[in-house]
């Protein structure tokens, strides 16, 4: 091996250190996925004086048949091809890690997160727990579309379906696969730019979950600690309605979470919604604000208040008085048939078919809500 080839291989390795594994959020070099780099002079040259080099990169994926292997190899191809002396068509040889090497990698990753990673000092993740007093107010739909909005705005976004009995995020995101199990550590499923985990990915959509309180708490702990989230900018939790075991578990496990209360305009919903916010009097969580869903239906330019009016304002006012700080009404979302139709088809309604955030209608409403929350 000549000094030139050693230098080229070292330079390419440095370039590959900027290629990030989409699931683990680490560079492929840090993860030991680059087994070897070989550079040899090519038959042709880039100019009359300087030889070109053919480069072969030996890549070891964490699991055989990794669903993101094409994404990773395309990024590696781009990093190598951008090197001035490399041939324009680098060779990528893909295999999977040995069992011993994978065991060592997983052990190292687990050692970094022996406990809930969202409670460590200096964590940058903003955590929003989406709550409601009763079912049927569109809490899960708000969670799904808000998560998709954050992702479309460029935030690294994760979402946990903490409604164990009534899980619905897999359907709303069109997810029909299970998370990848990396020797006991789970990789969240990514859909529409959002990293997701839900008991529905394991139990199946047609099964009833019959769990008591301790098992509910353990499920949340596993979602937080046994799933490799990286360090997302935003984490959303779709809570079960009411103030039961899961709401208490979230408050205990994530005291830095901010509660967002979803209601509809009618008193029967808003009165109950206040109770879900008053949980903040007994646990270390702050109520960030209120979202009034199904506020109106727009017909020929007129806003029809099908479910009455004022529910969100009532919840905001009562929580502000009870908690002693401002709990604003952050959004009044319209009643849109498309929200149901596209959601049941597996695409958040704020996105177009290409996954881009819609500039008008629901897209604009949720963008304003996301920006207000993150601000």
What is the DSSP pairing of strand 51-61 with strand 34-45?
antiparallel
Quick check: 35 and 97 in contact, CB under 8 A? no
295 marked ligand binding residue: no
174 marked ligand binding residue: no
133 marked ligand binding residue: yes
139 marked ligand binding residue: yes
Q: Strands, DSSP E only, in 293-339?
A: 297-299, 302-304, 329-332
For CA atoms 59, 61, 64, 65, the dihedral sign is negative
φ, ψ (nearest 5 deg) of residue 282: -115, -10
CB-count exposure of residue 230 (10 Å: 0-12, 13-18, 19+): middle
Distance CA 245, CA 238 (A): 14
Distance CA 334, CA 298 (A): 8
276 marked ligand binding residue: no
- Look up tokens 């897209």; give the residue: 363
Crossing angle between the packed helical segments 311-323 and 267-278, to the nearest 10 degrees: 30
Distance CA 36, CA 39 (A): 10
Distance CA 351, CA 37 (A): 41
- Give bridge partners of residue 224 from the DSSP assignment: none
82 marked ligand binding residue: no
- CA-closest candidate to residue 220, choices 252, 242, 194: 252
**CB environment 235-245: b (16+ within 10 A), e (fewer):** bbbbbbbbbeb
What is the DSSP pairing of strand 258-263 with strand 194-198?
unpaired
List residues forming the annotated binding site: 133-140
Residues of the binding site for ATP? 133-140
């Amino acid at each position: 091996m000549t000094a030139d080839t050693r230098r080229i291989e070292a330079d390419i390795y440095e370039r590959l250190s900027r290629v990030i594994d989409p699931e683990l959020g680490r560079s492929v070099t840090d993860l030991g996925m680059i087994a070897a780099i070989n550079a040899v002079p090519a038959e042709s040259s880039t100019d009359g004086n300087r030889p070109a080099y053919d480069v072969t990169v030996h890549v070891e994926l964490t699991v055989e048949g990794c669903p993101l292997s094409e994404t990773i190899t395309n990024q590696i191809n781009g990093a190598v091809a951008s090197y001035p002396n490399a041939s324009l068509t680098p060779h990528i040889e893909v295999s999977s890690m040995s069992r011993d090497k994978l065991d060592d990698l997983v052990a190292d990753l687990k050692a970094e997160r022996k406990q809930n990673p969202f409670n460590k000092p200096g964590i940058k993740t903003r955590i929003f727990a989406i709550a409601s007093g009763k079912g049927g107010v569109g809490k899960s739909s708000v969670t799904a579309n808000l998560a998709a909005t954050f992702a479309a705005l460029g935030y690294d976004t994760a979402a946990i379906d903490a409604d164990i009995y009534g899980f619905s995020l897999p359907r709303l995101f069109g997810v029909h696969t299970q998370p990848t199990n990396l020797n006991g550590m789970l990789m969240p499923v990514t859909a529409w730019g959002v990293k997701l985990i839900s008991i529905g990915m394991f139990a199946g959509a047609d099964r009833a979950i019959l769990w008591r309180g301790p098992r509910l708490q353990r499920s949340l702990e596993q979602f937080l600690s046994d799933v490799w989230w990286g360090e997302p900018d935003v984490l959303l939790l779709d809570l079960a309605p009411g103030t039961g075991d899961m709401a208490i578990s979230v408050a205990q496990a994530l005291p830095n979470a901010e509660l967002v209360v979803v209601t509809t305009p009618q008193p029967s919903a808003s009165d109950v919604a206040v109770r879900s916010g008053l949980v903040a009097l007994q646990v270390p969580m702050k109520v960030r604000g209120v979202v009034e869903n199904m506020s109106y239906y727009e017909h020929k330019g007129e806003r029809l208040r099908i479910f009455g009016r004022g529910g969100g304002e009532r919840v905001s006012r009562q929580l502000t008085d009870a908690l002693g700080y401002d709990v604003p009404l952050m959004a009044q979302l319209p009643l849109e048939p498309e929200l149901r139709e596209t959601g049941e088809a597996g695409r958040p309604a704020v996105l177009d078919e290409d996954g881009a955030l819609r500039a008008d209608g629901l897209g604009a409403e949720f963008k304003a809500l996301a920006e207000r929350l993150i601000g």
